[in-house]
């Protein structure tokens, strides 16, 4: 049996939040449990979805996989490499697209992508060709390639972020709400591209999203995470079937979410 | 491609990025250059006006050169210090810190790129200031040992690279006020290193502290070269000490940086907003 793309065993992460109390230099410490004993395994070439409201632990999970955070307990292996002990081996295999398109704001898309390409040791001439191809494929116009990012719309910036994630042909691509802020056409472009990447580059994709339709359309399996715990893990059909059986009606993923978490996604977000 | 060339290619990412930052923030560069230039002129004019201040006959030319050497060397060393200490602060401010830390780049390579840029940029910037300031005064550097001065400057850069790495830890530890804390560190170095006055002027306890600052030796040696034509041979011991101490500080700096990076990853301080 081949090594799974991703194997998470009993991972927990707690943050200490310091709050300044009334008296000077007196701080109050509060423990925030971001992840609590998470375990899951993702197969090679799988598109694996993680659903959950804001603050449920999705981004913490992505940061742990990206080597930007260290787990308090448990282990994470990416293609057999321990994230904590072999970060360089892991870094060479992954890339990430996050919800906030973080760039050098005054740089153009080409300058930002060239920086990323150099960091990953890509030959620059080859990388420039690839950048153009990906950006055109994502519907960005050639004339925007050299203008500062700060003059671009949020959606266009997000497309450049997606291009940066795909540029290095990662074996494991971490997509943290990649289509947030995109119009429906752009969303479709990105979603089609995600599928292409999986087929053409044999990539494994971990996707977090608030968009149930997107998760349903793209994911082979989905984990629903709430308050740092996985509360359900199955194929989209399996999840919907389990709720349909209980209610006696056809269920959508949104229904599954409401049923399992006891609240609507929007209500959960307001709680945070 | 051999591993060294591979790493150098990655290091070039930071050089190219910093060149692009200068191009895109050229207005800031102009403002900062004017500030440094005016500052150098203002300090040097203290020497020019000393006869009038004291009402005594003094070697004004010596005083002008003495202060000019201090201000120019400080300008150069502070560029090295800030370029390296701000490598984290810039990324945090732009919001790209997570992407850079996620990339398969060792911190040593990150540092090599940042240092090479800082040295080239610092030399060019200091030369521009020197040319303009020199046009205001009649500088006589006929007896100066210029190659020795350059050697000393490069040796001094090594120590400031080390100090820059140690200071770069502050924005990693304190996302909101770390960058300001590096300003305080630079100000202390300015006070104790004899930039504008001999360190012997300081109280005894500060003189002891000043012996720990590499800038003290660089500035003293530079004055020896440029004002007294001190030979390169006589500088070799200082050059050796500066390189050895600088290398040790770089090693310690990298070790501290590695530990703090791990702490930041443990506590979630790499996030853009902190």
Does any domain span residue B23? Answer: yes
Provide the pLDDT for residue A272.
46
Residue A15 to residue B252: CA distance in whole angstroms: 29
Alpha-carbon distance B117 to nearest alpha carbon in chain A (angstroms): 15
Half-sphere exposure of B159 (CA within 13 A, CB side): 23
Q: Report yes or no for ipTM above 0.90.
A: no
What are the angstrom distances between the C-alpha of B194 and each of A141, B197, B211, B213?
Answer: 57, 5, 10, 10
Q: Which CATH architecture has domain A6-93+171-271?
A: 3-Layer(aba) Sandwich (3.40)
Q: Which two tokens stand for residue A38?
A: 């998470």
Q: Which residues of A touch B95 (CB under 8 A)?
A: 100, 102-103
Kindly determine whether residue B10 and residue A119, on different chains, have CB atoms separated by under 8 Å: yes
Query: What domain range is B188 assigned to?
Result: 3-267
Q: Strands (DSSP E) along A168-216, which ranges?
A: 172-176, 204-209
Task: Work out the percent of chain A whose per-residue pLDDT is above 90.
Answer: 64
Whether the per-residue pLDDT at A270 is higher than 60: the answer is no
Q: Provide the number of structural domains found in chain B.
A: 1
Is B164 part of a structural domain of the chain? yes
CB contact under 8 A, B9 and A118: yes
Cross-strand partners of A51: A209, A224
Give residue B6's pLDDT.
Answer: 87
Q: What are phi and psi of B61, to 5 degrees?
A: -60, -40
Comma-separated ranges of CATH 3.40.50.300 domains in chain A: 6-93+171-271
Burial A167-206 (b: 16+ CB within 10 A, else e): bbebbbbbbbbbbbbbeeebbebbbebbeebbeeeebbbb
Q: Identify whether B273 is part of a domain.
A: no
Distance from CA of B10 to the nearest CA of A (A): 5
Q: Which two tokens stand for residue B256?
A: 């501290």
Return all residues near B77 (Cβ < 8 A) that are at least 6 apart.
B122, B156, B157, B160, B215, B218
Q: Is A102 helix (H, G, I), strand (E, B) or coil?
A: coil
Q: How large is the average pLDDT for residues A260-270?
A: 59
Q: Nearest CA to CA, how far is B266 from chain A (Å)?
A: 5
pLDDT tens per residue across span A87-113: 999 999 999 998 887 899 999 999 999
In order, the DSSP letters of B110-137 are HHHHHHHHHHHHHHHHHHHHHHHHHTTS
Residue B272 in domain: no
Query: Interface of chain B against chain A, CB under 8 Å?
Result: 6, 9-10, 12-13, 16-17, 20-21, 24-25, 94-96, 98-106, 262, 265-268, 270, 272
Contact present, A81 and A93 (Cβ < 8 Å): yes
> Which of A33, A35, A69 best probes binding to B when mutated, by most B CB atoms within 10 angstroms?
A69
pLDDT at B174: 84
Q: Are A152 and A178 in contact (CB under 8 A)?
A: no
**What DSSP character marks residue A2?**
P
Quick count: other Cβ atoms within 10 Å of Cβ B6? 12
The per-residue pLDDT for B274 is 31
Q: Which residues of chain B have pLDDT under 70?
A: 272-274
Within 10 angstroms of residue B231's Cβ, the number of other Cβ atoms is 12
Within 10 angstroms of residue B184's Cβ, the number of other Cβ atoms is 11
In a domain, B113, yes or no: yes
- The whole-angstrom separation of Cα B190 and Cα B91 is 26
Distance CA A222, CA A224 (A): 6
Q: How many helices (H) and strands (E) does chain A have?
A: 10, 10
Q: Is residue B274 part of a domain?
A: no
pLDDT tens-place string over residues A5-51: 999 999 999 998 877 655 566 667 788 999 999 999 999 999 999 99
Of A61-65, A246-250, B31-35, which range is least confident?
Answer: A246-250
H or E element that contains A187:
helix A184-201
Mean pLDDT, rounded, of chain A: 89
Mean pLDDT of A242-259: 84
């Amino acid at each position: 049996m081949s090594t799974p793309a991703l194997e998470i065993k009993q991972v927990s992460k707690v943050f200490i939040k310091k709050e300044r109390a009334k008296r000077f230099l007196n701080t109050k410490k509060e423990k925030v449990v971001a992840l609590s004993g998470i375990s899951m395994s993702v197969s090679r070439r799988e598109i694996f979805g993680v659903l959950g409201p804001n603050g449920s632990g999705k981004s913490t999970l992505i940061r742990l996989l990206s080597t930007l955070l260290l787990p308090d307990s448990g282990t994470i292996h990416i293609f057999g490499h321990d994230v904590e002990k072999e970060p360089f081996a892991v870094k060479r295999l992954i890339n990430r697209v996050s919800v906030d398109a973080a760039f050098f704001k005054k740089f153009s898309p080409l300058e930002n992508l060239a920086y990323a390409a150099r960091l990953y040791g890509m030959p620059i001439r080859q990388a420039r060709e690839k950048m153009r191809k990906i950006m055109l494929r994502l519907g960005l116009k050639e004339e925007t390639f050299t203008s500062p990012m700060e003059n671009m719309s949020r959606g266009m910036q997000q497309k450049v972020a997606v291009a940066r994630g795909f540029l290095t042909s990662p074996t494991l691509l971490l997509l943290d709400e990649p289509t947030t802020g995109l119009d429906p056409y752009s969303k479709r472009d990105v979603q089609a591209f995600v599928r292409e990447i999986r087929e053409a580059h044999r990539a494994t994709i971990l996707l977090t999203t608030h968009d149930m339709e997107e998760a349903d359309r793209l994911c082979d399996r989905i984990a629903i995470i709430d308050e740092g715990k996985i509360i359900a893990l199955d194929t989209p059909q399996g999840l919907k079937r389990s709720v349909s059986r209980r209610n006696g009606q056809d269920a959508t993923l949104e229904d599954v979410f409401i049923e399992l978490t006891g609240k609507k996604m929007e209500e959960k977000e307001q709680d945070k | 491609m051999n591993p060294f060339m591979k790493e150098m290619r990655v290091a070039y990412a930071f050089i190219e990025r910093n060149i692009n930052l200068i191009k895109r923030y050229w207005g800031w560069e102009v403002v900062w250059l004017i500030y440094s230039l005016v500052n150098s002129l203002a300090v040097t004019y203290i020497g020019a006006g000393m006869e009038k201040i004291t009402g005594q006959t003094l070697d004004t030319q010596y005083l002008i050169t003495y202060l000019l050497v201090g201000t120019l060397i400080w300008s150069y060393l502070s560029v090295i210090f800030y370029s390296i200490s701000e490598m984290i602060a810039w990324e945090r401010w732009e919001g790209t810190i997570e992407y850079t830390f996620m990339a398969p780049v060792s911190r040593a390579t990150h540092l090599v790129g940042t240092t090479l840029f800082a040295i080239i940029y610092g030399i060019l910037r200091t030369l521009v200031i020197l040319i303009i300031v020199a046009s205001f005064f009649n500088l006589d550097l006929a007896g100066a040992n210029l190659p020795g001065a350059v050697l000393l400057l490069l040796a001094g850069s090594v120590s400031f690279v080390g100090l820059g790495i140690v200071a770069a830890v502050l924005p990693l530890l304190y996302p909101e006020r770390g960058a300001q804390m590096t300003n305080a560190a630079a100000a202390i170095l300015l006070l104790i290193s004899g930039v504008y006055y001999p360190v012997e002027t300081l109280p005894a306890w500060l003189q002891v502290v000043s012996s720990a600052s590499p800038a003290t030796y660089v500035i003293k040696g530079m004055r020896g070269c440029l004002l007294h034509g001190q030979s390169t041979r006589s500088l070799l011991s200082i050059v050796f000490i500066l390189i050895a101490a600088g290398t040790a500080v770089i090693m310690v700096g990298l070790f501290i940086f590695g530990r703090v990076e791990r702490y930041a990853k443990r506590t979630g301080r790499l996030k853009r907003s902190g």
